[in-house]
Structure formats: C-alpha cells, structure tokens
Amino acid sequence: MLNRFKTYQLNLRGREVTIERPWVMGILNVTPDSFYAESRRMTEQGLQERVEQMVTEGADMIDVGAYSTRPGAAVVEPEEEILRLSLALEVVKRVSPDVYVSVDTFRSRVAQLAVEEFGVDVINDVSGGTLDPEMSRTVARLHVPAVVMHMRGTPATMQQLSQYDNVVGDVLSELAQTIALWRQAGVTQIIADPGFGFSKTLDQNYELLSGLEAFHSLEVPLLVGVSRKSMIYKALGCTPQDALNGTVVINTLALLQGAHILRVHDVRAAVEACTLIETLNRNNKHSKLSL
C-alpha cells in the first residue's frame, strides 16, 4: 500500500502551492455543541490559545467551523454562524497570518463573506453543495479551492440514508457525480472527502477505509476526516476523549493509501504520523532501488 501518494497543485493566495507531502488540517470549532468537547472555543482568548497551539504543532491549514453537523446538533441561523466565524477568523489572521485557512460551511452566503472579508483560502462544504444550490457557483466566482464531501440528506437525516449496494463503489460514484457538477459550475480546484461518519454505519466506515485507494481515480487531492469520530470510539467502547490512539491508527491507514490531507483535532499526533509515513515511503523507494 506504499507509494500511493500523488502530488497536486492548488492555487492559494495567488500562487501555485504543491501538496508534495501529506498536510494536516487542524479543527477550530466555534461552537458550543461539537461532539468533541475539547475542540470547542467560544471566547477570543480560547480561540487564540487553540490557534497558537495548532500552529506550533505544525498545522498546514486551520479549518474553522461555526455550525456543528453532528446528528442532533442545534440549528444555527446564518447571522449567528457569521458572527461566530468573524470572531474566529479575526483571531486566526492576527495570531498566524501565514497559515492557510478553510471555512467549514454549507451556506454560499457565509462562504462569500469568509473569502471576501477575511481572505479565507478554501471552502469546506460537508454537503457537497446539496444543501445550498448556489454554493458551487459562488465558489467558482470566488476562485478558491473547495473540499467537496460525500453526504446524503442533512445532518438530521443522514444516518437514515446508509443503504448501499457496495459502499465503496456507490460513494465513489456519487462523489464523482458531485465533482462533475462542481466542475460544470466552474470550480476548477476540488479536494474530495469520502465523508467518514456521514450517511455510513460503523461497519460501512471501515469498508470505506479499506477501499480508500479507489478514490484516487477521482484525480483530485483526498481529504480524510476521522478524528475522534464514533467509528473509532464506538468500535473501541470508549469516548471521544479517549479516542486519540484509535484516531492515529486510522489516520495512519489512510496515509498508507495515499491520503493528502488529514483533518484532525490533535495536530501534533497527526504531524508525527505523517512524518513517519514519509520516512517509511522514502526508505521503501531506496530499498526498491537497491534490489
């Protein structure tokens, strides 16, 4: 499973940036109800401390979200989402203006404000544009990359929509169709996210993980977001607070299948996993050359 990593280029801040090694995207939740309590920050001081920690630990990008998409999460009105994001984005830009920033939103209005007012680099849409038909066209006008994730339904209904003939093949096909629609709308830079935990049962998540390599056929960078999710803590019989070891294991398996971006709560652990897999890949190449 080694050497599946393929380099890609993204246009960020007006220049071509090459993803030539796995990136780590740190999660910054400006929410009171995200499933992992330690990721929540609602005050300026708390946000600043969290950003400083992630940057020090080696985050390549910070993903800011102000609307929890876990099942049963409270509905957040657009005005409240914008208010929360504004506070967080101001902090990120002040503390670390060089780190790349993505915004986790499914609303085109929020995406437009984030890019135009705060210079956000990437839009991360968990719905793949299905919850706001204007999203793809808006991102095209903004000329920024987009993370397009696979999900069926809404956060409230998604777990009732996990019927697949073959989860790897079906998710791959549905994600390919979604990416094609975004391209038709004019979006040229896309990152694919198979959507672990969204519209999938626990066993389906592991089936998807075992077939992750198939998603390279999309010919776009691949983002994996499994950090402390129920597919880990339920399988281990623990809580999100105790799911770091399991997260590292799953992230490592994703890296072995060529994942380009890990979206995580624990930046240092992910950076270390990436470093070790890079070292393994480098020495595996040297070993082959010596045969």
Residue 35 inside a domain? The answer is yes
Distance of CA 138 to the CA centre of its chain: 20
Does residue 224 contact residue 251 with C-beta atoms inside 8 Å? yes
The catalytic position among 263, 282, 285, 288 is: 263
Residue 234 inside a domain? The answer is yes
Residue 14 inside a domain? The answer is no
pLDDT for 33 equals 53
- Return the percent helix, strand and coil in the chain, to nearest 5: 45, 15, 35
Give the CA angle between residues 40, 102, 201 to the nearest 5°.
Answer: 65
pLDDT for 73 equals 60
Amino acid identity for residue 109 in this structure: R
Task: Please tell me the pTM assigned to this model.
Answer: 0.92
Say which residue the tokens 């793809």 belong to: 136
Residue 142 inside a domain? The answer is yes
pLDDT for 286 equals 60
Residue 64 inside a domain? The answer is yes
Residue 6 inside a domain? The answer is no
Start-end of H helices in 78-201: 78-95, 108-118, 135-142, 167-184
Would you say the C-alpha torsion 201, 81, 188, 15 has a positive or negative sign? negative
177: tokens are 């169709």
pLDDT for 290 equals 44
Known catalytic membership, residue 234: no
The catalytic position among 41, 50, 152, 229 is: 229
Amino acid identity for residue 37 in this structure: A
Number of domains in the chain: 1
pLDDT for 36 equals 44
Residue 15 inside a domain? The answer is no
Backbone φ and ψ of 16, nearest 5°: -80, 125
Amino acid identity for residue 158 in this structure: M
- What is the Cα–Cα distance from 139 to 10, expressed in whole angstroms? 14
pLDDT for 289 equals 46
Amino acid identity for residue 98 in this structure: D
Residue 193 inside a domain? The answer is yes
pLDDT along the chain (291 residues), means of 10: 78 96 95 55 83 97 86 76 92 95 96 96 96 97 98 78 92 98 98 96 97 97 97 96 97 96 98 95 66 38
Would you say the C-alpha torsion 207, 208, 209, 212 has a positive or negative sign? positive
Distance of CA 96 to the CA centre of its chain: 20
List the domain range (segments joined by +) for residue 33.
22-290
Known catalytic membership, residue 263: yes
pLDDT for 72 equals 59
pLDDT for 245 equals 97
- What is the Cα–Cα distance from 198 to 69, expressed in whole angstroms? 9
- What is the Cα–Cα distance from 59 to 53, expressed in whole angstroms? 9
pLDDT for 279 equals 92
Q: Give me the residues paired with residue 122 across strands.
A: 102
Q: The domain that contains 42 carries what CATH number?
A: 3.20.20.20
- What is the Cα–Cα distance from 123 to 106, expressed in whole angstroms? 9
